[in-house]
Structure 1
Amino acid sequence: MFSLDLPICATCGNQFGNSPPPTTCPVCDDPRQYVPASGQSWTSLRKLQDNSEKKYHNEIVQVPNEPDMYSIYTVPQISIGQRAMLVKTKEGKNILWDCITFIDDDTVQRVKDLGGIDAIVISHPHFYSCNVEWGKAFNCPVFLADADKDWAMRKDLGIQHFFTEKRLKLAEDVQAVVVGGHFPGSLVFAWKNEHLLVADSIQIVLSGLGERERLPGTVMFTFMYSYPNMIPLDPDSILGIWDAVKDLQFNQVHSGWPGRVVKPDGKLKILESAKLIVQAMGYTQHTMLDQQL
């Protein structure tokens, strides 16, 4: 069922369509990522599934107080360690936001018990992982931003759909929105006019966790070109992200990692964080600073 022997980059978790793989992973050998000091290394689904010592498996956990939202992540952590999130639409369809590297028969069966997957949409190339495997396992399309097409290390045009729209409406209450910034085609995911699911263009930071008052000057979100290499986005790019989400309705913001959510007033807190970061760069005048809800 699975393409067990295709190479997977051990650092970013992206599966490649050809073997042998390149000398280094292009996704990692890029200013936004990194190749470890120990050098490039590779794995495969066969190695991950057969690893008797680590016994990789996927946790599928209902998000608290959200019966139609599930978090899916691998234990122990593989590569970047992101989660995928399964949400149900008003029409009863299941959409998977983002993707993870590990997949096995047990995962497929448990997801099918929840109704399967009708479509997959992925935020940016660092999370492309084994998207073709997931699409084939559930016989569903995988939607990726056309602006980032060259970063898909395994292509399957029978499964993948590279869309050019700024907003991709997947159901009555679900749309993926291109915000750019981290990558030109970076996406966020709006659901039920209440939830915004984000990844690396809008990133929840640790000071954003927990429902309590913060001291003035505390950010809850950040906006980075590179997280491991600590390269911030410029103010114009941050403004572009805000422009892309400012007319969306949402109160809660969910990160690409388990347990990270900002609520309530998630939209206001994104705006406040964006302004604080632009000010911290030394700007006293910039259009971002003039933005209001």
Structure 2
Amino acid sequence: MPRFLCRQCGARYPEAAAPPPGCPICLDERQFVRWGGQEWLEVEDLAKSHKIICREDHGVLGLRIAPAFAIDQRALLVEASEGNLLWDCIGLVTREAIEAIRARGPVIGIAISHPHYYTAMAEWAKALGVPVHVHADDRVWVTEPDLAIEHWDGEALKLGPSLTLLRCGGHFAGATVLHHSEGDGALYCGDVLQVTQDRAHVSVLYSYPNMIPVNAAAIRRIAAILDPYPFARVYGAFEGRVIPADAKTALERSFARYLAAIA
């Protein structure tokens, strides 16, 4: 039987004779159903019309689907001394992409920032032979359950000496960022913190397409969680959305601006 994925968000579903009546992720107020109505694509058909582009962005290998598909986020390969981590996920898995990842060294796992980027995480985990780490607060949004998915609890999870997952919340209850401490430090945030077009700030919204903000308490909580962690760069969900230097100060400036705007 075919496996179906949502054209709007890229969420994948188990084998079935017919797709679900609707995609729960798109029916949620943080996302949206296509203006023409719910549309489905069989997983096997995506590879016939799309490919994965692997491209360096400020020293980090990014993988995205071309032509643009669904939300158009990228996955990032975080290279660490304890082993590499695939950060966030895309809805297509190809042999060429797996080879490009393996060429950079051993992979110890996959970590996902929030449910909009779960997509093909189960297939990526199988292809790389590693677990995928998802916060337990977002367990309900997993559309393609798999034994490789490990749900973690709490506010932080150490994946190695230099890799730490931090639950920020805001966008989703379990919304997570990744801190990499090696060198001058980097923060990988998906769009839990959205790097803005000027690439000098971030913003935080409960919903980006429907423009629903988070409140002051959420911003203060995120700022307090990140405060102990040094980092010079921030890598966002989309190609080119990187704050390449002095990112810690940029985030502090962004949070102050946000709080002033909603006061």
Q: CA deviation at 1:103?
A: 1.0
What's the TM-score once normalised by structure 1's chain length?
0.85
RMSD: 1.5
Q: Counterparts of 2:98 and 2:244 in 1: how far apart (Å)?
A: 31
**Corresponding residue for residue 5 of structure 1:** 2
How do residues 271-290 of structure 1 correspond to structure 2 at under 5 angstroms? Answer: 271-281=252-262, 283=263
Unpaired stretches in structure 1, ≥5 consecutive residues: 210-219, 284-293
**Corresponding residue for residue 37 of structure 1:** 35
**What secondary structure sits across from 1:249 in the alignment?**
coil
| CA offset digits 1:112-154 (Å, max 9, x no partner) | 2233532000000000010000000111000000000000001
Would you say the 8 A contact 1:181–1:240 is kept in 2? no
Aligned length: 260
| CA offset digits 1:146-180 (Å, max 9, x no partner) | 00000000111x20000003111111111111000
Matched, 1:162 2:151: yes
Would you say the 8 A contact 2:57–2:239 is kept in 1? no
**Corresponding residue for residue 26 of structure 2:** 28
**What secondary structure sits across from 2:24 in the alignment?**
coil
Would you say the 8 A contact 1:178–1:186 is kept in 2? yes
Q: Which of 9, 13, 28 is the matching residue for 1:16?
A: 13
Q: Counterparts of 1:116 and 1:128 in 2: how far apart (Å)?
A: 22
Matched, 1:149 2:139: yes
**What secondary structure sits across from 2:150 in the alignment?**
strand
Q: Which of 118, 128, 136 is the matching residue for 2:108?
A: 118
Q: Which of 171, 182, 187 is the matching residue for 1:196?
A: 187
**What amino acid does structure 1 have at the position aligned with 2:45?**
K
Q: CA deviation at 1:57?
A: 1.2
**Corresponding residue for residue 62 of structure 2:** 71
Q: Counterparts of 2:84 and 2:245 in 1: how far apart (Å)?
A: 25
**What amino acid does structure 1 have at the position aligned with 2:13?**
F
**What secondary structure sits across from 1:27 in the alignment?**
helix
**What amino acid does structure 1 have at the position aligned with 2:225?**
A
Matched, 1:184 2:165: no
Q: Identity of aligned pairs, percent?
A: 30
Matched, 1:265 2:211: no
Unpaired stretches in structure 2, ≥5 consecutive residues: none
Q: Which of 227, 237, 244 is the matching residue for 2:208?
A: 227
**What secondary structure sits across from 1:206 in the alignment?**
coil
| CA offset digits 1:9-34 (Å, max 9, x no partner) | 11000111242232110001011000
| CA offset digits 1:67-105 (Å, max 9, x no partner) | xx31111111110000011022123x1110101001122
Matched, 1:140 2:130: yes
Q: Counterparts of 1:162 and 1:248 in 2: how far apart (Å)?
A: 23
Would you say the 8 A contact 2:233–2:246 is kept in 1? yes
Deviates more, 1:172-181 or 1:255-264: 255-264
What's the TM-score once normalised by structure 2's chain length?
0.94
**Corresponding residue for residue 51 of structure 2:** 57
Q: Counterparts of 1:169 and 1:14 in 2: how far apart (Å)?
A: 27
**What amino acid does structure 1 have at the position aligned with 2:137?**
A
Would you say the 8 A contact 1:123–1:199 is kept in 2? yes
Q: CA deviation at 1:36?
A: 1.2
Would you say the 8 A contact 1:116–1:138 is kept in 2? no
**What secondary structure sits across from 1:50 in the alignment?**
helix
Deviates more, 1:136-145 or 1:185-194: 185-194
Would you say the 8 A contact 1:89–1:172 is kept in 2? no
Q: Counterparts of 1:206 and 1:88 in 2: how far apart (Å)?
A: 26
**What amino acid does structure 2 have at the position aligned with 1:58?**
I
Q: Counterparts of 2:239 and 2:187 in 1: how far apart (Å)?
A: 15
**What amino acid does structure 2 have at the position aligned with 1:14?**
A
**Corresponding residue for residue 213 of structure 1:** none
Q: Counterparts of 1:248 and 1:30 in 2: how far apart (Å)?
A: 32
**What amino acid does structure 2 have at the position aligned with 1:205?**
T
**What secondary structure sits across from 1:250 in the alignment?**
coil
Q: CA deviation at 1:238?
A: 1.0
Q: Counterparts of 1:62 and 1:74 in 2: how far apart (Å)?
A: 14
Q: CA deviation at 1:224?
A: 0.2
**What secondary structure sits across from 2:166 in the alignment?**
strand
**Corresponding residue for residue 45 of structure 2:** 47
Would you say the 8 A contact 2:5–2:12 is kept in 1? yes
Find the structure with the greater CA-based Rg.
1
